[in-house]
C-alpha cells in the first residue's frame, strides 16, 4: 500500500511520545539536580530587520558555581534534531558568498560569553528575499525555507562549569518587515503554593515552609491574554490562539504533571495554571530548602519564567 513507511513512522512517533513518560527507572525530567538550561528567552522573540533582541537563559546549578561560563552563537541554517542541530553553513563560506555578491555581511556567528547576549537582525533585505525565496544555491537543508512566520534561525547556548557542560538551542524567527506577524513573550508573574487552602506566593527568601512527602497544590500567575491570537501559517493563515505550556521544575520530589498545557478546544486555561508537588523525604533530599521554577512557553518561540525557594519541613 502507499505510504506504508510513513504510516509506520506515524505510529512509532505516537507511541514514542506516549512511552517517553513511562520510564520509572529514571529521575523525572523536571527534577533538577545538576547543571541544566531550563529555558532561553529572546526579547523580543521575533526581531524585525534592524531590531535587536536580548538573549537570556534560566540556568540551574545545584549550588552557586563560580566557574559557570556562557557562550552564545547563532546560525542562519541549522540541521534538524536528527542531525544534532549542527550548523549547516560555515561562517567563512557565508561571508565569502555575501561579499562576492556585494552584499552587507551577515551578523557574526559568535554572540559572546556573557550571561546575556544581544543579536541584531542586520540581514540585508535583498539577502533576506533571496533566502526566503529559496534562491540561495547549494545550501544544504532538509526543508524548503518558509518565512511566512519569519526566517527561522537558531541560537545556541553552551553553559559550562568545571565539571559539566550543557548545550541548548532556541529557534529564533527573524521578520523581514511588519507584514509578518510579531510574537510577544508570554508573561508569568509568580508561582504559588497552597497552604491551608489558600495560595501563598513563593518568593526567593524561603520564608514559606511546605511539608515533605505531602501533595501540595501549586499555581502560576498567567493572564489569559498571554495566549495571543495569530494567523496560523500551517492552516492557510486562519486565526488561531497560541498554545501555552508550563514546565514545572523542582529540586526535590515529584509533581503530578511535568508539564501542563492550554490548548484551545482541548484543555482549559486553568489546566495550564495548576499542578501539585510532593517534596521528597529527608533521606532522598537532605537540603532544608528547595527551589521551584515554572517556565512558560508559547508555540511560537516565546518564553518566560518565574521561580522561588521554599523551606521543607521535617521528614515524616
Subset of 268-287 contacting another protein (CB under 8 A): 271-272
Kindly tell me which residue out of 52, 54, 62, 80 binds another protein, with binding defined by CB under 8 A: 80
Instruction: Among 208, 263, 276, 281, indicate the residue that binds another protein (CB under 8 A).
Output: 263
Cell of 152: 527561522
Per CB under 8 A, the list member of 79, 87, 98, 200 interacting with another protein is: 79
CB of 83 to another protein, least distance (A): 8
The stretch near another protein (CB under 8 A) out of 89-97, 215-223, 266-274, 306-314 is 266-274
Residues 315/213, Cβ–Cβ less than 8 Å: yes
Contact 189, 221 (CB under 8 A): yes
Residue 246 CB, nearest distance to another protein (Å)?
A: 8
Beta bridge mates, 231: 239
Nearer to another protein, 261 or 287 (CB): 261
Report the residue from 101, 129, 135, 214 that binds another protein according to the rule CB under 8 A: 135
Please identify which residue in 97, 109, 199, 245 interacts with another protein, judged by CB under 8 A.
Answer: 245
- Three-class SS of residue 209? strand
Instruction: State the Cα angle at 219 between 291 and 58, rounded to 5°.
Output: 40
Q: Is 239 in the site for another protein (CB under 8 A)?
A: no
Hey, which residues between 217 and 236 contact another protein (CB under 8 A)? 234
- Cβ-contact 225, 235 below 8 angstroms: no
Is the link from the previous residue into 44 a cis peptide, with omega within 30 of 0?
A: yes
For 277, phi then psi, to 5°, come to -135, 135
Q: Between 185 and 224, how does the x/- string for binding to another protein read (CB under 8 A)?
A: ----------------------------------------
With binding defined as CB under 8 A, does residue 258 bind another protein? yes
CB 45 within 8 A of CB 300: yes
Q: What does the alpha-carbon distance between residue 59 and residue 63 come to, in Å, rounded to a whole number? A: 12
**What x/- string results for residues 139 through 178 when contact with another protein is judged by CB under 8 A?**
xxxxxx---------------------xxxxxx-------
* Residue 70 Cβ vs another protein, minimum distance, rounded to whole Å: 14
Among 61, 116, 161, 261, binds another protein (CB under 8 A): 261
Site for another protein in 285-314 (CB under 8 A): 295, 297, 299, 301, 303
Of 161, 166, 191, 189, the C-alpha closest to 57 is 166
CA angle 230, 234, 235 (to 5 degrees): 75
Burial class (CB in 10 A: 0-12, 13-18, 19+), 276: middle
Amino acid at each position: 500500500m502507499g505510504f506504508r513507511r510513513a504510516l509506520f513512522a506515524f505510529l512509532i512517533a505516537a507511541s514514542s511520545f506516549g512511552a517517553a513518560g513511562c520510564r520509572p527507572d529514571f529521575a523525572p525530567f523536571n527534577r533538577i539536580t545538576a547543571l541544566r538550561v531550563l529555558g532561553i528567552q529572546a526579547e523580543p522573540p521575533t526581531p524585525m530587520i534592524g531590531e535587536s533582541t536580548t538573549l537570556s537563559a534560566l540556568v540551574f546549578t545545584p549550588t552557586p558555581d563560580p566557574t559557570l561560563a556562557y557562550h552564545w552563537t547563532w546560525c542562519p541554517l541549522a540541521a534538524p534534531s536528527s542531525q544534532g542541530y549542527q550548523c549547516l553553513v560555515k561562517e567563512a563560506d557565508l561571508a565569502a558568498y555575501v561579499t562576492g555578491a556585494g552584499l552587507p555581511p551577515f551578523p557574526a556567528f559568535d554572540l559572546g560569553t556573557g550571561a546575556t547576549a544581544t543579536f541584531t537582525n542586520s540581514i540585508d533585505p535583498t539577502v533576506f528575499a533571496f533566502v526566503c525565496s529559496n534562491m540561495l544555491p547549494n545550501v544544504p537543508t532538509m526543508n524548503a525555507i518558509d518565512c511566512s512566520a519569519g526566517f527561522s534561525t537558531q541560537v545556541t547556548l553552551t553553559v559550562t562549569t568545571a565539571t559539566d557542560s550543557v548545550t541548548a538551542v532556541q529557534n529564533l524567527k527573524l521578520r523581514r518587515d511588519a507584514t509578518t506577524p510579531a510574537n510577544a513573550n508570554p508573561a508569568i508573574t509568580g508561582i504559588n503554593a497552597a497552604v491551608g487552602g489558600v495560595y501563598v506566593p513563593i518568593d526567593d527568601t524561603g520564608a514559606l515552609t511546605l511539608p515533605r512527602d505531602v501533595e501540595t497544590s501549586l499555581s502560576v500567575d498567567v493572564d489569559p491574554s498571554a495566549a495571543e491570537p495569530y494567523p496560523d501559517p500551517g492552516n492557510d493563515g486562519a486565526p488561531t490562539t497560541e498554545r501555552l505550556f508550563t514546565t514545572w521544575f523542582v529540586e526535590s520530589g515529584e509533581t503530578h504533571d511535568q508539564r501542563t498545557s492550554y490548548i484551545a478546544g482541548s484543555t482549559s486555561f486553568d489546566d495550564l495554571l495548576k499542578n501539585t508537588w510532593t517534596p521528597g523525604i529527608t533521606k532522598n533530599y537532605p537540603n532544608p530548602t528547595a527551589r521551584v521554577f515554572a517556565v512558560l512557553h508559547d508555540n511560537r518561540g516565546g518564553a518566560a519564567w518565574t521561580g522561588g525557594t521554599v523551606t521543607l519541613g521535617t521528614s515524616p
